[in-house]
Every structure is written in structure tokens, then in C-alpha cells.
Amino acid sequence: MNQLVISGSPHINGSESVKKIMYTVVIAMIPALLVSIYFFGFQVLRVLAVSVIACVLFEWLIQKFIIKGPLTVNDGSAVVSGMLLAFNISSTVPTLMVIAGAFVTIAVAKMSFGGLGKNPFNPALVGRVFMLISFPVEMTSWPKPVPIFKSELIDALTGPTPLAVVKEGLDSGLTIDQILASGSVPSVFEALIGNTSGALGEISAMALLLGGIFMVIRKVIDWQIPVTIFVTVYVFAGIFHWIDPAYYMTPEFHLISGGLVLGAVFMATDMVTSPMSMSGKIVFAVGIGLITIIIRMWGAYPEGISFAILIMNAFVPLINKAFKPKRFGVVKK
């Protein structure tokens, strides 16, 4: 008989694995991707393919030639980062810029901290913010949504995101009613299905929520984080809208426009960069909601969710220290 294996208990493992989690996220992104292709055409696939391939390639190169450790590139985390980066940028961004963004995402934001699980900030968001600062023009020109079967007009039209429309309008002294009257702000229904300008993955709140529900069912994310962000945004934006409806947009608009749903469902819930305990997650989510609205209302950028998530990422170690799970049989003194 062979030698018996000796190891500490437990002797069985569950079916959960890193790979499974990562590919669940990939599957959850597919509905939003389909909507994006429908409205922005096949340029979406170019950006997505470039981003994913570049991310995977950079990770592989770094692991192979710089770290010289085990190759774990097939765990799917680079694919997820690449897809999320693509979801956060416009489908008109040139290929080389996407590659530059992918480099920052993987090399700077992920591998320089030690790879998967060690990065304090969400890699895709770091890549996105890097691109936003480096290539402000390309990163803020958004294609107008054109259903794919009317694609003769593609590439021709670009337009601002609804959030930018509102911001510019308010800055030039218009009231909310005047901005809405101009017709360049989509209705709630249009924003839900995705018939609006924006980054390629953020346009359809409905498709993103669908993916989110899938991830909640598969226990990849906790529903508490997105829901808390939505509630915080709704309440905070609602208070200001109630105080002065002429200057502040409706809370519904804040909920479904821009990257809020994408950020809340896919970016803020990133396991690596979110707190460990449930109470910590709630605090984290409230912080994201507040900072997002503060940036949107009074900041220089029309959209604030990326910055909000990155700022709260920085607080995660502190939150983990301060918000512990309730210990069994331990009464706080």
C-alpha cells in the first residue's frame, strides 16, 4: 500500500474556487456587453478585446519574466480587470490608449502590489482614472447610441453623457427645467435600457442589474454593498432635490445615469478592495454613495463614482480594523 497522507482537518473542501468566482463575474458582464454592442456597434468588441488581451498579456509577462513565480494568469482575474477597464471607457478610445490603460491596470495597480488579492485599489478603476487624466479629450468624447441595425450613422456622432449635459447646463446658469427642456437628457426608461451616451459598459442599468442579481445568487457579491450605495445616493440626492429642485437633479436621475450602477454592482463589490465584515461593507458603501454625489454636484468632474470608490478603497484597511464581525459570546464593554 502507498504511504498514507497526513494533514490537518478539515479533509474536504467546498466547490468554490478563485477561477469560478472570476468567470462568474465575466458571465455577469455579458448582458451589459450585449446592450453595448447593440447601441455602439462592433467598436465595443475592439476596445474589449484589446483591453482583455493586453491585461492578460501584461500579467503573464510580469509573472513570467519579472516575478518569476508561479503562473496564475488562468485564474481569470486579469480577464475580469480587462473587461471592467473596457466597461469604464468609451468605445471610441484609440487602441494604443487602451493598451496604456491596461498596462497601468495590471502592472501598476495590481502586480506591483504582489498580484491578485494584494492590491489596495481596484485595478480597473486605477487604469480608468489614469486614462481620464492622461487623455482627457478621448476619454470624455462619447458616441451617441445608435441601434446596430441603423449603423450607417456610426462613428459620426459623439455627444456628452447626461451627467455632463446637466453639469455644463448648471455651470452656464441654466435651471434643471431648462436643461431637461433641451431634450439632450434621456428619460429614465431610456437610461434603464441603455439608450444613452456613456462608457461602453455603463449605459444600461437594467443589464447591469441583471448581472448583479446573477452574482448575488451565485454568492460572488453581497447585495448589501450595491443596495446601500443606491439608498445613500437616492436619499442624499433626494434631500438636495427637495431643497432646491431648480438646481439639483432628481434622485432617480442620479441613480440610473452615469456609471453608478456599474460602479456599485461591479466595482465597489470587488472582493479584494472592499471591507471584510458586513458592518464594514455598509460603511464603505455609504461612503461611496456620499462621495459620488458630492463630486457630481460640486466637483470638477461630472461623474464621481470612480473617484468615490478609489477614495473608499484607501479607507478599507481602517474600516477592517474598526468594524469587526460580532464575536460569538463576546459582549462589548
Site for another protein, rule CB under 8 A? 1-14, 16-18, 20-21, 72, 75, 77, 114-118, 271-277, 324-331
The residue to which cell 436621475 is assigned: 253
Of 78 and 164, CB closest to another protein: 78
Of 136 and 325, CB closest to another protein: 325
Q: How far is the CB of 216 from another protein (least distance, A)?
A: 14
Of 225 and 260, CB closest to another protein: 225
Residues contacting 193, CB < 8 A, separation 6+: 35, 204, 206
Of 139 and 268, CB closest to another protein: 268
Q: 98, 80, 76, 100: which is closest to 89 by C-alpha? A: 98
- Outline where 172-304 has alpha helix (H): 176-181, 188-193, 205-217, 224-243, 251-256, 260-262, 278-298
Q: How far is the CB of 34 from another protein (least distance, A)?
A: 27
Of 96 and 276, CB closest to another protein: 276
Q: How far is the CB of 72 from another protein (least distance, A)?
A: 7
Burial of 45 (0-12, 13-18, 19+ CB in 10 A): middle
Of 6 and 133, CB closest to another protein: 6
Of 21 and 131, CB closest to another protein: 21
Of 65 and 328, CB closest to another protein: 328
SS3 19: helix
Q: 280, 172, 292: which is closest to 224 by C-alpha? A: 280
What DSSP element (H or E) covers 103? helix 95-103
Rounded to whole angstroms, the Cα distance separating 9 from 276 reads 24
Neighbouring CB atoms inside 10 A of 306's CB total 25
Q: How far is the CB of 5 from another protein (least distance, A)?
A: 4
Q: How far is the CB of 204 from another protein (least distance, A)?
A: 27
Q: How far is the CB of 205 from another protein (least distance, A)?
A: 26
Contact 204, 194 (CB under 8 A): yes
Q: How far is the CB of 33 from another protein (least distance, A)?
A: 23
Q: How far is the CB of 27 from another protein (least distance, A)?
A: 16
Residues contacting 258, CB < 8 A, separation 6+: 161, 162, 163, 198, 202, 296, 302, 303, 305
